[in-house]
Amino acid sequence: MENVSLTRYSEITEKNKREIVLLRGSGCKWRRCSFCDYHLDFSPDEDSNYALNQEVLRHVTGKYKRLEVINSGSFVDLDARTLRLIMDICMQKAITEIHFECHWMHRNDVPQLRSTFAAHGIHANIKIGVETFDTIYRETILHKGIDESSPEKIAAGFDEVCLLFGLEGQTAASMRHDIETGLVNFRRVCVNIMVENTTKIKPCPAVIEVFMNTLYPLYRDNERIDILLENTDFGVG
Ligand code: SF4
């Protein structure tokens, strides 16, 4: 059995209470986002991934009836046994809502996942990392790999969106526009603040200060917005 750091299991106890697990899959198939090094958390060894995931999922209690699964990529990168185990745990623990992450490139796999869980009475929410609705910035600087500019079209198959703030060039107006666009098109918005990692994209302290002084107070209490000040989303697809 793999040794599991408890950081792979956590609870969100403020808004949208839920348990959250960081599982390991075969790895993000995009891997090109310039700000991300989370995709390094993967293994091609399915048995080893399943053993690790089994151990992490053992911590789930079902106390909030809601579970978020993240895996530094997309749900399609998880092995079939892990997906089956997630389903079994949801049923055993009476979890009625599950959250998965998914990169744009796998959007056509979403309906099947939704219907598989729905067949067992579990509602699947799918989160996409868009980071910003400024297409040029997103695709030329962040290399996000979303070949669609329309927020409505991007949102069509998804429920929740992740945004990434604290980057050079962002302003109060641009970040506010991203949040408002997210709120119009998605059920929930998750704001991540960039933190230093091994990539060349660095957090911009001046932009973070602008966010904290102008937008954080405005949106902090909005029930549809999660604000993760330490970018703990592990690189949502
Ligand atoms: S942010 Fe998500 S999609 Fe982009 S490289 Fe990282 S894990 Fe892959």
Ligand 1 center from residue 93 Cα (angstroms): 30
Report the relative pairing of strands 97-101 and 123-131 from DSSP bridges: parallel
Rounded Cα–Cα distance for residues 192 and 165 (Å)? 6
Structure tokens at 200: 């060349």
More confident call, 84 vs 1: 84
What is the model's pLDDT at position 229? Answer: 79
- Pick from 106, 116, 143: nearest CA to 28: 106
Q: Which CATH code, of 3.30.160.60, 3.20.20.70, 1.10.3720.10, 3.30.70.1400, is assigned to 6-228? A: 3.20.20.70
Residues 57-105 pLDDT 10s: 999 999 999 999 999 899 999 999 999 999 999 999 999 999 999 999 9
Strand (E) or helix (H) holding 214: none
CB of residue 36 inside a 6 A radius of ligand 1: yes
For the chain, what's the residue count? 237
Domain boundaries, the chain: 6-228
Give the number of C-alpha atoms closer than 13 A to the C-alpha of residue 168, restricted to the C-beta side: 6
Q: For residue 234, what pLDDT is reported?
A: 45
Residue position matching structure tokens 């809502």: 97
pLDDT 10s digits, 98-146: 999 999 999 999 999 999 999 999 999 999 999 999 999 999 999 999 9
Q: Is the pTM of this model over 0.75?
A: yes
**How many Å apart are CA 94 and CA 64, to the nearest integer?**
9
- Ligand 1 pocket check for 129: Cβ under 6 Å: yes
Cα 82 from Cα 172, distance rounded (Å): 41
Tell me which amino acid residue 12 is: I
25 Cβ inside 6 Å of ligand 1: no
Residue indicated by tokens 């009475």: 121
Q: Please, where are the H alpha helices in the chain?
A: 46-57, 80-92, 110-118, 135-136, 151-155, 172-185, 205-210, 216-219
Q: If we measure between CA atoms, which residue out of 233, 204, 27 comes closest to residue 128?
A: 233
Residues 74 and 101: beta-carbon distance below 8 Å: yes
> DSSP secondary-structure letter at 124?
E
Q: With a 6 A CB cut-off, is 30 part of the ligand 1 pocket?
A: yes
Query: What confidence tens digit (pLDDT) does each residue in 156-206 have?
Result: 999 999 999 999 999 999 999 999 999 999 999 999 999 999 999 999 999
Substitution candidate for ligand 1 out of 36, 127, 158, 161 with most atoms within 8 A of CB: 36
Q: Is the CB of 29 under 6 A from ligand 1?
A: no
